[in-house]
Amino acid sequence: MYLGAVTAALFAIGCGGDDDDGSSLSKQEFLKQGNEICAKGNQELDQAAQKTFSGGPPSAEEASAFVNDELIPNVEDQVSQLRDLSPPEGDEDEVNAILDAADEGLSKSEDDPAGVFQEGDPFAEANKLARDYGLVACGS
């Protein structure tokens, strides 16, 4: 149950790479690389959550530690990797809105780590925007 809550609270973004010549990626390639970034991040978070919460519901201290030590660094890394990709020409604003919403979720998580488990999903807006754009692994 808590693993599902953790997974739902995540804005996970797959693995990818830089576009070395600075030109924009096609949307298909951006989505492929972005979803790979998120899928990898999701898998890492799921494994950490399984290990951390295998004993049952977390205490507030355990939940806060997980958010601070696992969730926030993982999502920050995913967002950073996505920012390193060159978004498709004409989609820059849409991609930036997704990443900015993820940054807002990170800020909320940093301000109230235990709230990730107790309150609404701090990444709900980022997840919705990501799914709508086609970054389905990032919006899961």
In this predicted model, what pLDDT tens digit does every residue of 45-58 receive, in sequence order?
A: 999 999 888 888 88
pLDDT single digits (tens) 65-114? 999 999 999 999 999 999 999 999 999 999 999 999 999 999 999 999 98
What pLDDT was estimated at residue 66?
A: 93
The CA–CA distances, whole Å, from 134 to 8, 62, 82 equal 17, 33, 14
Place of tokens 């701090």: 122
Q: What is the pTM of this model?
A: 0.81
Report the distance separating Cα 34 and Cα 137, nearest Å: 8
Per-residue pLDDT tens over the stretch 127-138? 999 999 999 999
